[in-house]
Amino acid sequence: MADFIQRGNITTFHDLRTKNVVELEKEVLTYSKNRPISLVVPCLYSELAKPALKNIVDELSKVKFLNHIIIGLDKADEKDFRHAKSYFSKLPQRHDILWHDGPRLLNVTDALKKSNLSPPEPGKGRNVWYCFGYALALQTSEVVVLHDADITTYDKDMLTKLVFPVVNPNFFYVFTKGYYPRIHAHMFGGRVVRLLVAPLLQALKKVIGDHEYLSYLQSFRYPLAGEFAMRTSVLSDIRIPSDWGLEIGVLSEIRRSYSSKVISQVEIADTYDHKHQEMSQDDSSKGLSRMSVDISKAIFRKLATDGESFSQETFRTIKATYFREALDLIESYYDDAKMNGLSIDRNQEEQSVELFAQNIMLAGKAFLENPMETPFMPTWRRINDAHPDFLANFRTAVMEDNY
């Protein structure tokens, strides 16, 4: 059972096991009549062969409150797309597949490339960005939910809990993010949150002082969770990062546009696991190594936009402070794991911290060398101004692919 203490700048919804989730689902179904809900699921074609996505599709088939499911499909040829249409055909809800590599979408999105408004690189960020654009183009939902396609512990109750704070008309929240414990193979998971983000935020507070943005991020129990729900109106004005800083970037954009009073987080599962990325110690362009660089840069960029000034010496101090904070946290995690009958590999944990410390310096160096870097994709409001007919053409292309 979770505690019920409210900490930080945002509202936390706890699952105290005092209300049956079936009742919660009935309420969401009622609310969805006036606030239709769309679900976005970005995925690679290769994930169709994995048991995680099969279970997700099976669970989604039982959900009655979804108005629409938008599936963003990457790295698929024509044969793969036909298979994907068959694969997802068991879903009883209306569902559309965005075949990003298909000729129709490539032709339509070419207009953005010519205007230098196209996402800079393929990946989850671009996939999600186009799915959000399609949701705006349809104008059939009041709430949009996002979750990944690789959740191995997925069940439909997660979706019910995730959407409740935003779809409930008696609440005023425009955004909510999921959180959960990360335990797998009898060990603590969530290395990037535990060993990078948490100690880095604490180190930044020590080096640059108390800062509203840092306190805001620290309010989230799992800031890198890929599950969140928001009012559809939010989508027009947020700038989504195209790199691994997607989750941190979205949180930053929500804070920029909205008061913390309308931002929340919700406990959606007792346990959670998904596909694990390799650490990639020898290659900072891959895996968790790449992720740690991009996340660090995303935080540094946001602090800079809030008026903070950085230098090489500042980043050296941040790295040293981070390293001490992270090593102290390893001790805490180790003791916590032991009390709960779990295990932690101290050597692996310290190797991760050493890599993250190195990558904090790499992120700082990249930030200083290219302060004008803009990894964010443009807002959909800007796209509409530059290409008023784009979303209509995009919607037509997706429908021609699907029907």
Please indicate whether residue 245 or residue 304 has the higher confidence score (pLDDT): 304
Instruction: Identify the CA nearest to 217 among candidates 183, 244, 177, 180.
Output: 177
The model's pTM is: 0.94
Residue 276 pLDDT grade (very low, low, confident, very high; cuts 50, 70, 90): low
Sign of CA pseudo-dihedral 114, 115, 118, 120: positive
Measured in whole angstroms, the distance separating CA 179 from the mean position of its chain's CA atoms is: 11
- Which pLDDT score is estimated for 122? 81
Residue 4 pLDDT grade (very low, low, confident, very high; cuts 50, 70, 90): confident
Asked whether the beta carbons of 402 and 89 are under 8 A apart, the reply is: no
Residue 2 pLDDT grade (very low, low, confident, very high; cuts 50, 70, 90): low
Query: What pLDDT, in 10s, does the model give residues 85-102?
Result: 999 999 999 999 999 999
Query: What pLDDT, in 10s, does the model give residues 88-138?
Result: 999 999 999 999 999 999 999 999 999 999 887 788 899 999 999 999 999
Query: What pLDDT, in 10s, does the model give residues 199-239?
Result: 999 999 999 999 999 999 999 999 999 999 999 999 999 98
Give the whole-angstrom CA distance, residue 379 versus residue 239. 5
Residue 354 pLDDT grade (very low, low, confident, very high; cuts 50, 70, 90): very high
Residue 78 pLDDT grade (very low, low, confident, very high; cuts 50, 70, 90): very high
- Which pLDDT score is estimated for 106? 96
Helix and strand element counts for the chain (H, E): 15, 10
User: Of 141-155, 240-254, 262-276, 282-296, which one has max mean pLDDT?
Assistant: 141-155
In the chain, the largest separation of any two C-alpha atoms, in whole Å, equals 59
Give the whole-angstrom CA distance, residue 97 versus residue 158. 22
User: Of 41-55, 239-253, 276-290, which one has max mean pLDDT?
Assistant: 41-55
Torsion on CA atoms 64, 70, 75, 79, rounded to nearest 10:
70
Cα–Cα distances (Å) from 5 to 2, 8, 16, 157, in that order, read 9, 10, 11, 23
Average pLDDT, the chain: 92
Give the whole-angstrom CA distance, residue 281 versus residue 232. 39
Asked whether the beta carbons of 229 and 165 are under 8 A apart, the reply is: yes
Radius of gyration for the chain, computed over Cα atoms and rounded to the nearest angstrom: 21
Query: What pLDDT, in 10s, does the model give residues 163-194?
Result: 999 999 999 999 999 999 888 777 888 899 99
Give the whole-angstrom CA distance, residue 177 versus residue 263. 8
Count the neighbouring beta carbons within 10 Å of the beta carbon of residue 233: 12
Question: What is the pLDDT averaged over residues 328-347?
Answer: 92
Residue 271 pLDDT grade (very low, low, confident, very high; cuts 50, 70, 90): confident
- Which pLDDT score is estimated for 344? 87
